[in-house]
Structure 1
C-alpha cells in the first residue's frame, strides 16, 4: 500500500483545495510566491507571514514548525509557535520553535486559513518491474556477531579495520576473500522494524545507485539485508574524503589542489544527472527506466579521494544510500532531526522549499558551496546561531567569497558569487555548464 498525506483547505480562500504528498518532501506554507501551499498575497491574508510555517513530510509522518510568525500557527486550536508581540521578525528568527507531530484528522490554522490533515492508504502500482531481491548476491551474508577483533563479520569478506561511523551506521575496511580487492563495508542499523514495502522501496533506490558506473562516482558493489540490518560493499577510496584532506591542511585547501577536485566532481554529477536509471516512478504510477539521479547531499564529507599512481581522483560518494534510507522511513528521522553540521550549510533555498522535486541544479549549487568551503574553510552563508538555520537559507544570500578571503582571484570570485545565487533561481542548470564557466574563469 502507498501512503499519502493530504492537506485540504477547510477555512479561508483555499477552502476545498487539496495538496497531496506521496513521498518524502519538505515545504513551507506562506504568502511568498515560492511557498506550497501558497497563501494569497493580499490584504485579507496579511496576518499570515510570507514564510509562516514549515512542513516536514515523510508519509505517513508529518511535522509542522512555526517560523516565528506574528499571529502564530495552531494545531487543533493549540498554539505551537508564535513570536511575542514586542518582537521583530529579526528577533524571532533567532529562535527555533518546537516541532509538532501531526496525525490523521488534525487541523492546522494560520490566522484566517485552515487545513485538515488526512493520511490515506492507496494500492500501489508496481507494473511489471521486478522488486530487487533482499540480497543482491547469494554469496554474501551478514553475521551480526563480532569476531575476536571486535569487527563485524561478513561472509566472503575479511574485515580489516573500522574506518568510522555516522548517522546511518558504521564503515569498515574489508577485503574480498575471492578477489583480494579492498572495499568499504557499510553496516546500517534501522531504528525501526521495516515492513516488506519499506524494504522494497529502499532496495529499489539501492538498485538505482548500482546503475551508476563512472570514474568520478563511488561504485556500489554488493548489498544485503538481514535481521533488520542493511549492508553494502562499495569501492574503497584509499585517500579518505575531501573533508579529511581539509583537516590535514588546517581547514582549507589551496586553489591548485581544490580546482582539480571540483572539476572531477562536476564530471561525476554530469554523468549521474543523465544516467539511465531502472526504477523511476512514471506518470501512471508504474516503474520504468528514467534519466538521472539527484544527490541532494553533496558536501566535502561525501566527496572521496583515491590515490591512483600518485594522482588524486575525486569520486562523489553516498549516492542514493542516505537518501534511500530516509525516503523509505527506515531511519526513523526526518530532515529536521538531523544535525546542521552536514547537510544544511550546503543546501539551497530550492531544496528546502521542495525536497521531493529537487532538480540537478540543487547539486550544482551544493558543488559551488562545497568548493567555496574547500578554499575558504567557511560556509557560503553565515550560520552564527543568531538566526534559525532554515530562516538563514530562506532569507540570507551567500556572503561574497572575497569577504572571506580577499586573495581569491577576482574572475573566480565573481563566478562563485554568481553560482551561489538561489533567489529566485539557481543560474547554472547543468554540471557541464558550471564546469565550463569555472574553467574559463581560471
Structure 2
C-alpha cells in the first residue's frame, strides 16, 4: 500500500482521515502540526490521489494540513477540482489550481453558462480572518474596477454573498478573464531572455497602462512591476495584474531567514528599498521597476543581485552602484534601448521625473521612437 497521507485539522477539532498514496521517502518520523506555515507542494504530483479526496468533509472553512508518514507537509487547495462556485453574474466549475501567492490561490475555471475559461483568485483559508489581507483584497477589487484599460486585468465577477461585499462581509474570491499566454516570468524560465524588439513592444503596452493609472486622481501606483505580474494574451499583448496588492513590505516576510531571495526585491525602487511609506511613493517608482523588469527581460539577469534581501536592498539604494549596461551583457540590445533602460533606472526619483517629465507617457514615447528605429534596421538587414 505504501505510506499513508493523513489529513490533520489545524484550526478545527475532529478525527483525522487516512488516504492511501504512493511511498514518500520511506522514512518514518513524527512531525508536530505546523500552524499555517506548510510548505507548498503540488498535491497531485506528490500523492497521486485525486484532489477531491483531500476534502475530508463539506466544511472547508477550517485549515487542514496533509502530512505523510515520512514527515512531508502539504497545503490543501481551497477548492477541489470539479467544485462548483457561485458568482454574482454566473456559476463556475473549478478545473485546476494554477498559482499560489501570499494572499491566496488562483484557479483555472470554466463558466458554466458561456463555456469560457476564467481565472478565479481566492483568499487562502489562513487569510480569511486576517483583516489586513481582507482589506487589501477589497482594495484590489476597488482599484481594478476603477482602471478600465486593455492593458490592465479586469474583474468580471465576485463571489455571491449574503452581505454587502465589504470588510464585514467580504467576498472570498474574484473572477478575471483567463489569459492563455502565461506570464513573462514563465517566458524567462523557458527562454532565459526575450528578444529586445518584443521587450520594447511589451514595455510600450505596460507604460501605456501605467500612464492610465498614474493619471487617475488620486494617482494609482502598481508598486510591484515585475515579470510575474505581466501576462501575455494569445496575441502577445501585455496585461498588468495585481494592482496595488503585492507590496514590497509583504515580500520581506516571505522568508525572514534570508536564505531564499524573494523575487520582488530585484525590481523594487530605491525609495521603496529605503522604506518610504507607500502613500508617499511617487509614480516614478513604477518607472524604476519597469526599467528593472526590462533589464531582466533583455539580458536574462537581475540588475542587482545578492544572496540576501538586505544586500540587494543596499545595492539598489547605493547611488554609485549601477549594473552593466544591457547591451554589454547582450549585444543584440540596441544602444539607445540600453541607455533608455538605465535612464528609467536612475537612482534618484527626481532624476527620473526630470528625464521623463510626463512620466510613463514620456517613457512610451521614447520606446516608440526606439521601436521605429529597430524595425527600420530589421527591414534594412532583411533587404540586404
TM > 0.5? yes
CA offsets 1:373-393 (integer angstroms, 9 cap, x no match): 111111122335597222122
Distance in 1 between the 2:101 and 2:323 partners? 28
Q: Contact between 2:93 and 2:109, CA under 8 Å: does it hold in 1? A: yes
Structure whose residues are more often helix by fraction: 2
Q: Deviations over 1:207-265 (max 9, x none)?
A: 1222111111111223349898831111211111111122222x111123222111111
TM normalised by structure 1 equals 0.56
Aligned mate of 1:273, from 186, 193, 214: 214
Aligned equivalent of 1:255, options 188, 193, 196: 196
Partner of 2:302, secondary structure, is coil
TM-score (norm 2): 0.63
Structure 2: stretches of 5+ with no match in the other structure: 1-57, 62-76, 162-168, 256-260, 374-384
Q: Which residue of 1 aligns with 2:244?
A: 320
Is contact 1:380-1:401 (8 Å) kept? no
Give 3-state SS (helix, strand or coil) of 2:306's partner: coil
Q: CA 1:415–1:191 in 2, change beyond 3 Å: closer, same or farther?
A: same
Q: Find out whether 1:234 has 2:176 as its counterpart.
A: yes
RMSD of aligned residue pairs (Cα, Å): 3.2
Q: What's the counterpart of residue 51 of structure 2? A: none
Is the Cα contact below 8 Å between 1:263 and 1:435 reproduced in 2?
Answer: yes
Matched, 1:181 2:116: yes
Give the direction of change, closer, same or farther, for the CA distance of 1:236–1:143 in structure 2 (3 Å limit): farther
Specify whether residues 253 and 193 from structure 1 end up closer, same or farther in structure 2 by C-alpha distance, changes over 3 A only.
closer
CA distance in 2, matches of 1:438, 1:394: 26
After TM superposition, what 4+ stretches of structure 1 lie above 6 angstroms from structure 2?
Answer: 145-148, 195-198, 225-229
In the TM superposition, 1:117-156 aligns within 5 A as 144=60, 150=81, 153-155=84-86, 156=91
Residue in 2 that maps onto 1:297:
224
Are the aligned partners of 2:81 and 2:94 in contact in 1 as well (CA < 8 Å)?
no
| 8 Å contact kept, 1:206–1:321 | no
Q: Structure 1 residues 410, 297: CA separation in 2 closer, same or farther (over 3 Å shift)? A: same
Kindly tell me: are residues 376 and 225 of structure 1, through their superposed partners in 2, closer, same or farther at Cα, counting changes over 3 Å? farther
Structure 1: tracts of 5 or more residues without a match: 1-141, 276-289, 327-332
Pick from 273, 277, 294: which aligns with 1:352? 273
The correspondence of residues 340-379 of structure 1 with structure 2, limited to 5 A, is 340-353=261-274, 354-356=276-278, 357-379=280-302
Distance, in Å, in 2 between the alignment partners of 1:200 and 1:392 is 32
Aligned-partner SS, 1:359: coil
Question: Is the 8 Å Cα contact of residues 223 and 246 (structure 2) preserved in structure 1?
Answer: no
- Alpha-carbon distance change, 164 to 147 in structure 1, aligned in 2, over 3 angstroms: closer
Q: Distance in 1 between matches of 2:105 and 2:96?
A: 11
Relative to structure 1, is the Cα distance of residues 244 and 272 closer, same or farther in structure 2, using a 3 angstrom cutoff?
Answer: same
Q: 2:115 is paired with a residue of what secondary structure?
A: coil
